[in-house]
Amino acid sequence: MMDEREEDADEEAWLQLRPVEPLPSQCCGSGCSPCVFDLYHRELAKWEAARASKDRSLLSGEESQSCPSKLSPETFLAFRISAMDRLTEDTYHVRFALPRNCQLGLRPGQHLVLRGKVDGLEIQRAYTPISPANAEGYFEVLIKYGELLMLASGTGLAPMVPVLQTITDNAEDETFVTLVSCFKTFESIYLKTFLQEQARFWNVRTFFVLSQENSLEKLPQSYREKTHFGRLAQGLIEELVGSCRRKPFALVCGSAEFTKDMAKCLLCAGLAEDSYFLF
C-alpha cells in the first residue's frame, strides 16, 4: 500500500504524462483528417485508460514494422533538416532527411502536415512535397511566409476584411497576420464572428483596442487576453512590431487623424515609409 505522499507523487507523475491540448493556432485550417484536435482526443483517451488501469505501457505506441519513416495519420514523426536554401526574402527550400534511404510514400497530389516552432511559436501546416515521389532518403518542401500588420480604426476594418480572407482562403499562403482593431466599446465591435473564425487560423492573431472601456471583467473571457484599453499609441505599436516574427509590412486604415498618428508610430518603431500603406 502506498502512503499519502507516494500517492501524491504518483498522481503528479500521471499528470505530467497527460497530453497537452493544442492551441487553435496549431490547427492548419486545411481540413486534415485526422485534425490535430482529433489526435489530441485519441491520445487523451489512451492516457485516461492507462491511468485508470495504472499501466503506463498502454501509453507507448507501436513502431512501424517496415520503414521507420512510414507516415501515419495518427502520429507525428521526427525528421532532420539536412539542407535549407533561402530562395527569396520570404521563401525557403527545405530538405528533410529520411532514414535508411526510405521513400516518403505519398502519391502525387497528397500532402503531409509539418509541425514545428517558428520564432518560439509552435505551428502546424499542410505542405505538398516538391521532391520526386520516388526520391530516396529525403523529401523537399517550399516554405514561404511574410508578415503583415493591419491597424484599423472603426469602419477602417472593412478594407482589411478581403485582404485577410484572401490569405486564409489560400492554403498555399504562408503570410503571418496581426490584426489590431480599434473601437470605442466592446459592443461597437462589428464582424465579431468573422474575426473569431479568422483568429482560429494558425497564421492570424487578432487584438482589440477599446477607448471607452476600462474593465476586463466585463468582457467575455475569450477577449480578455487580446484586448487593450485607451488608444493605440507608440508603446503598443512597438510591442506589436517587436512581437512579429520578422519586420512586417503594415496596412493602416481609419480617420485622417488615426492614419497620421499611426504613420508616426510606425516610423518610430523602425518601419520605413515603404514598409506601410495608408488607406
33 pLDDT higher than 70: no
- Output 25 or 42, whichever has higher pLDDT: 42
pLDDT digits (tens, 9 = 90+) for 92-137: 888 998 888 888 887 766 778 887 765 555 667 778 888 887 888 8
Place of cell 517550399: 142
> Is the pLDDT assigned to residue 273 strictly greater than 70?
yes
With cut-offs at 50, 70 and 90, classify the pLDDT of residue 237: very high
Mean pLDDT, residues 81-102: 84
Length of the chain: 279
| Residue entry with cell 530562395 | 87
Res 4 pLDDT > 70: no
Question: What cell numbers appear for 137 in the block?
Answer: 532518403
> Cα separations (Å) of 272 from 27, 151, 251, 278?
33, 16, 13, 13
Return the closest-CA partner of residue 219 out of 268, 178, 185. Answer: 185
Beta-carbon contacts of residue 267 (< 8 Å; ≥ 6 apart) = 273
> Does the predicted model carry a pTM greater than 0.75?
no
Written as one string, the DSSP assignment of 231-249 is ---HHHHHHHHHHSSSPPE
